[in-house]
Chain A
Amino acid sequence: MNGREMPVTVDVASLLAVENVSLSFGGVKALSDVSFDIRRGEIRAIIGPNGAGKTSMLNCINGFYHPTQGSITFNGERRRRMRPSAAAAGGIARTFQNVALFKGMSTLDNIMTGRSLKMHSGFFWQLLRHGPALKEETAHRRVVEDIIDFLEIQHIRRIPVGKLPYGLQKRVELGRALAMEPQLLLLDEPMAGMNLEEKEDMSRFILDVNQHFGTTIALIEHDMGVVMDLSDRVVVLEYGRKIADGTPQEVKRDERVVAAYLGLAHEGDQA
């Protein structure tokens, strides 16, 4: 597994390649010299202790932060700075650690909003809600209904998401990301705060998304059982550095990973 720590060469199979990315806020180094790749169609987990820079990594990938050094290649296109809306247009969707839904809107409207990039009818027709605008609205509603069926949330279609329990909110958020029909789906702790049953449901949805839609998934998760079962390959970050990369079995045996999680190597440090 240590052999994979070399700077990644862009091969055809990889959808996303992160090369020597560093990110710092003032004097604080959130990420230093991290490189890894995500292959087309795989489920890639990013794990690590709190504050390891996992969410910062996702924020770099979807253009919310700009790496101070290094580059990110998505779909064969290398970039250093990218606006979040451009990343979205390029096919990167995202869910958040603490649910970031549009609380005042219904489930249906939230997922419909995920289709924003695909709706193009002119402002004039929007004013009239007729002709192309209505046709477009109906067509996208059909897609959204498929997603609602897929996630089994038909019963909460009309309910404002602010009123939904946490587990369902997470599911709606996944639905909103799916509505973008992304090539790469970034999931930031999709199972945080869920009970066992909800975790099982969510795991099933993630696997289904990956297999049925062929969506490539990068996921941050603390539940090791889930990570080991779901993911094809795992990246381990600690203090903004990559300490391991490989299949779940390889990573599980890695001494540095074990040390990072059990704190053996850093007895003096604050975790």
Chain B
Amino acid sequence: MFYREAGQFKTSYTADMAIFPLREDRIGLAVIIVCAYALALTGNSFLLQAVMIPFLIFSLAAIGLNLLTGYTGLLSLGTGAFMGVGAYACYKLTTLFPGLNIVLCILASGFFAAAIGVVFGLPSLRIKGFYLAVATLAAQFFLQWCFIRVPWLVNYNVSGAIEAPLRTLFGIPIVGATATPETRYLVVLTMVIGLTWVASNLVHGRVGRAWMAVRDMDIAAELIGIRLLRTKLLAFAVSSYFCGVAGALLVFLWYGGAEYDVFNINQSFFILFMVIIGGLGSLIGSFMGAALIFIMPIVLGMVVPAVLNPFGLGVSAATIEHLRFMIVGALIIFFLIVEPHGLARLWQIGKQKLRVWPFPY
């Protein structure tokens, strides 16, 4: 491997408890972040608009769901609806207070999603697992019904859709038709990095341990003095906050507008698959899952014709689409068989293997 932890001694608990205790990991992370920002300079607007912006937004939603399902062990199928609450709340906020900074609006809209999430999280004290999933399904359908039937949410717009109005940050348009992909990408990237940092702080501290304790053995957690209801509702609140912000970003910095149908049950499943494939209870896994589920089909859409065309197999766009579905499906099954605990575990195992290489253990 390229690096080992040899020679890096910790002399304080604070240093030992750092989230990235290894110097090389910290450098690697810094390089990744710098590269991510540098991507905006390439000016490749397809890459930014069609790949990176949605990838980051879905990663954020996956982190949100992962906090609930992966860390606290509460299965939820209401992710799409919670994202919708964020989006509609942000729309209401920014149209009611046009002077308010749009970034603040987006961050504030998460609180509405959190409040709704807490309400629908109340049954979690009594029911678990699949039954809780069904209860959150109620949230999904009820909230989606609200998005259609409450015209106040869309400011009585006859089309029933919400549209991102022009909003600027430091005089530069970041939301609306005139905002360039580069600026929107930079805003999304910064917010996703900031919120990921917050999520990582939470899961590494007292709160995260309480969540995992509830997930692993709720009776023992209770006997240690962890209040189950409070802990579970906090998980619902924080998770819904992340999903809500992701939903607001989705509409305001990616689509530019949306109807109720964006936040349907498919969206919930989409995010859930990212979490399961990426790795339950892992933040880096949320990014990996989003990459696998969202970016891989795009890559395949480009790679498949490139591979087939030289052989004179001029395949139609529809066939490529079918092939893409088949390959993605096969890869998902492959990854789940190889490592049911997700890409994050695969990543960990790989790192450990390389760490001791060339020895087997």
- Binding site of B, secondary structure by majority: helix, strand, loop or mixed? helix
**Interface hit among A8-16, A111-119, A240-248:** A111-119
Which single member of B12, B16, B212, B222 contacts A84 (CB below 8 Å)?
B222
The reply to whether the CB of B13 lies closer than 8 angstroms to some CB of chain A is yes
Contact A102 B212 (CB under 8 A): yes
The answer to the question of A62 belonging to the interface, with a C-beta cut-off of 8 Å to chain B, is: yes
B220 near A127: Cβ-Cβ < 8 Å: no
Contact B205 A137 (CB under 8 A): yes
CB contact under 8 A between A117 and B225, given known A104-B216, A126-B206, A134-B14: yes
The answer, yes or no, to whether B290 is at the interface (CB within 8 Å) is no
Instruction: Say yes or no: B206 contacts A121, CB within 8 Å.
Output: yes
Give the contact stretch, choosing among A93-101, A197-205, A206-214, A259-267.
A93-101
Q: How many Å from the CB of A84 to the closest CB on chain B?
A: 5
Q: What interface size band does chain A fall in?
A: 35 or more
The residue in chain A whose Cβ has the minimal distance to the Cβ of B199 is: A127
A202 to chain B, nearest CB (A): 19
Q: Which residues from chain B contact A105 at a C-beta distance below 8 Å?
A: 209, 212-213, 216
Counting residue pairs across A and B whose Cβ atoms lie within 8 Å, the total is: 99
Q: Please, how many angstroms separate the alpha-carbon atoms of A64 and B222 in the complex? A: 9
Chain A residues near B206 (CB-CB < 8 A): 116, 119, 121, 126, 133, 136-137
Is A123 in contact with B207, judged by CB distance below 8 angstroms? yes
A137 CA to B215 CA, complexed, in Å: 21
A112-B209, A113-B209, A129-B204 known; A138 vs B216 contact (CB < 8 Å): no
Question: A180 to B220, alpha carbons, bound, how many Å?
Answer: 13
Task: Give the shortest distance, in Å, between A96 (CB) and chain B (any CB).
Answer: 7
Please tell me which one of the listed residues B17, B219, B222, B227 contacts residue A138 in the complex, with CB atoms under 8 A apart: B17
Decide: A180 near B224, CB < 8 A? Known: A126-B205, A127-B202. yes
CB contact between A103 and one of B217, B225, B226 (< 8 Å): that residue: B217
A104 with B215: in contact, given A85-B225, A85-B226, A129-B204 (CB under 8 Å)?
Answer: yes
Contact present for A133 and B205 (CB under 8 Å) = yes
How distant is the Cα of A123 from the Cα of B202 in the complex, in angstroms? Answer: 9
Find B17's partner among A94, A123, A141, A180 (CB 8 Å cutoff). A141
B198 part of interface (Cβ distance < 8 Å): yes
Please measure, in the bound complex, the distance between the C-alpha atom of A127 and the C-alpha atom of B205, giving whole angstroms.
9
Q: Check if A109 is an interface residue, CB within 8 A of chain B.
A: yes
Whether A109 and B224, one on each chain, are in contact in the complex, defined by CB atoms closer than 8 angstroms, is: no
Q: Counting CB contacts under 8 A, is A6 at the interface? A: no
Residue B291 is within 8 A (CB to CB) of chain A in the complex: no
1/0 per residue A77-101: CB within 8 Å of B?
Answer: 0000000110111000110100011
Q: How far is the CA of A100 from the CA of B214 in the complex (A)?
A: 12
Which residues 17-60 of B sit at the A interface, judged by CB distance below 8 A?
17, 19
Q: Which chain B residues border A62 with CB–CB below 8 Å?
A: 223
- A176 touches B (CB below 8 Å): yes
On whether the beta carbons of A104 and B281 are closer than 8 Å, the reply is: yes
Residues of B within 8 A of A137 (CB): 17, 205-206
Set of chain A residues within 8 Å of B209, measured between Cβ atoms: 105, 109, 112-113, 116
Q: Is B95 close to A, CB under 8 A?
A: no
Contacting residues of chain B (205-261) with chain A, CB-CB under 8 angstroms: 205-207, 209-210, 212-213, 215-217, 219-227
Residues of B within 8 A of A176 (CB): 224
Minimum distance in angstroms from B73 CB to a CB of chain A: 9
CA–CA, A116 and B227, complex, Å:
10
Contact of A104 with B212 in the complex, beta carbons under 8 Å: yes
Instruction: Kindly identify, within residues 101 to 154 of chain A, every residue whose CB is under 8 Å from any CB belonging to chain B.
Output: 101-105, 109, 112-114, 116-117, 119, 121, 123, 126-129, 133-134, 136-138, 141-142, 145
A residues less than 8 Å from B222 (CB atoms) = 84-85, 88
Contacts of B205 in A (CB 8 A): 126, 129, 133, 137
CB contact under 8 A between A94 and B207, given known A105-B212, A105-B216: no
Docked CA distance A176–B227 (Å): 17
Complex Cα–Cα for A134 and B206 (A): 10
CA distance A96 to B84 in the complex (A): 44
Say yes or no for B201: interface residue by CB 8 A criterion.
Answer: yes
Residues of B within 8 A of A138 (CB): 12-14, 17
CB-defined A-B contacts under 8 Å, sample of 25:
A101-B217, A101-B220, A102-B212, A104-B215, A104-B216, A105-B212, A105-B216, A109-B209, A109-B212, A113-B209, A113-B210, A113-B212, A114-B224, A116-B206, A116-B210, A116-B224, A117-B224, A126-B201, A126-B205, A126-B207, A128-B198, A129-B204, A138-B14, A138-B17, A142-B13
Q: A: which residues have CB within 8 A of B?
A: 62, 64, 84-85, 87-89, 93-94, 96, 100-105, 109, 112-114, 116-117, 119, 121, 123, 126-129, 133-134, 136-138, 141-142, 145, 176, 180
Top 4 closest pairs, chain A to chain B, by CB: A88-B225, A102-B216, A129-B201, A117-B225
17 additional contacts (CB under 8 A) given A104-B281, A113-B221: A84-B222, A101-B216, A102-B212, A102-B213, A102-B220, A103-B217, A104-B212, A116-B213, A119-B206, A126-B205, A127-B202, A128-B198, A137-B17, A137-B206, A141-B16, A180-B224, A180-B225
